[in-house]
């Protein structure tokens, strides 16, 4: 049973370009979470999705950032017109249908560098 | 405001020297407290979930405990391979977000 798969592992974008980060959850998991991690800082929640639904996007900037989890295919975190401050590690986690204190399992992350 | 504070920021131990990491939290109704381990360049790896005060869980050299205000991760006779950053997170009853601490970087010297 493969774990959470994220790709690419490393992504370099010039300022103003678009970044698309992909996440395939573990088999049987219908809930996906995206987090951002800056060096020496904790993980920051961005968005929580279920298939075809955004449940909580309170941690995601209102502009330039969007996320989706279509019925078929991976979840996508999209950052338009990237700026240097978007450089970070972006982690995706998945869990089975949420119940009390359900643990989430993480992918290896995508390290975005904006030059 | 829900928040999580971990201490110390970094801890250096000799192999075999037992110690504890602390995670203090404030949350409006605790759904669960989670411990993860993160190695450099990798995603967090799940260790434990604790749900209520008084609960304890063990895995190899690690034991996690929970009170109403804090959790401890006790490490007994650690080995160099236990070196990692240990992250604590809480989930509130009010939503599904995980609120994370900044982590404790643990270094075990042979």
Please say if the pLDDT value at position A100 is more than 70. no
Contacts of B60 (CB under 8 A, 6+ apart): none
Chain A residues in contact with B37 by the CB 8 A cut-off are none
pLDDT at residue A97, rounded to an integer? 75
Q: What is the CA radius of gyration of chain A?
A: 13
Tell me the pLDDT tens digit for each residue of B6-20.
999 999 999 999 999
Between residues 27 and 56 of chain B, which touch chain A (CB distance below 8 Å)?
31-32, 34, 36, 41-46, 49, 51
Q: Are B36 and B46 in contact (CB under 8 A)?
A: yes
Q: Does any CB of chain A come closer than 8 Å to the CB of residue B87? A: yes
Please say if the pLDDT value at position A98 is more than 80. no
Residues A93-104 have a mean pLDDT of 76
Tell me the pLDDT tens digit for each residue of B86-98.
999 998 887 777 8
Q: Does any CB of chain B come closer than 8 Å to the CB of residue A115? A: no
Beta pairing, strands A110-114 & A10-13: parallel
Chain A residues in contact with B34 by the CB 8 A cut-off are 101, 103
* Average pLDDT of every residue of chain B: 94
pLDDT at residue A18, rounded to an integer? 98
């Amino acid at each position: 049973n493969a774990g959470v798969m994220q790709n690419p592992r490393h992504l370099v974008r010039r300022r103003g370009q678009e970044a698309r980060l992909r996440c395939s959850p573990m088999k049987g998991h219908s809930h996906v979470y995206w987090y951002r991690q800056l060096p020496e800082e904790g993980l920051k929640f961005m968005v929580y999705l279920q298939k075809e639904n955004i449940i909580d996007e309170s941690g995601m900037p209102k502009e330039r950032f969007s996320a989706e989890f279509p019925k078929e295919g991976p979840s996508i975190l999209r950052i338009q017109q990237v700026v240097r401050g978007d450089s970070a590690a972006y982690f995706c986690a998945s869990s089975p249908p949420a119940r009390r204190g359900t643990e989430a399992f993480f992918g290896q992350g995508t390290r975005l560098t904006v030059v | 405001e829900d928040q999580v504070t971990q201490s110390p920021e970094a801890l250096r131990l000799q192999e075999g020297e037992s110690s504890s990491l602390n995670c203090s939290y404030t949350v409006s109704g605790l759904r669960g407290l989670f411990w993860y381990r993160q190695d450099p360049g990798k995603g967090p790896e799940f260790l434990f979930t604790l749900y209520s005060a008084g609960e304890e869980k063990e895995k190899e050299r690690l034991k996690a405990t929970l009170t109403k205000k804090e959790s401890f991760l006790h490490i007994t006779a650690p080995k160099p391979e236990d070196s990692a950053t240990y992250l604590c997170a809480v989930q509130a009853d009010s939503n599904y977000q995980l609120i994370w601490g900044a982590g404790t970087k643990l270094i075990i010297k042979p």
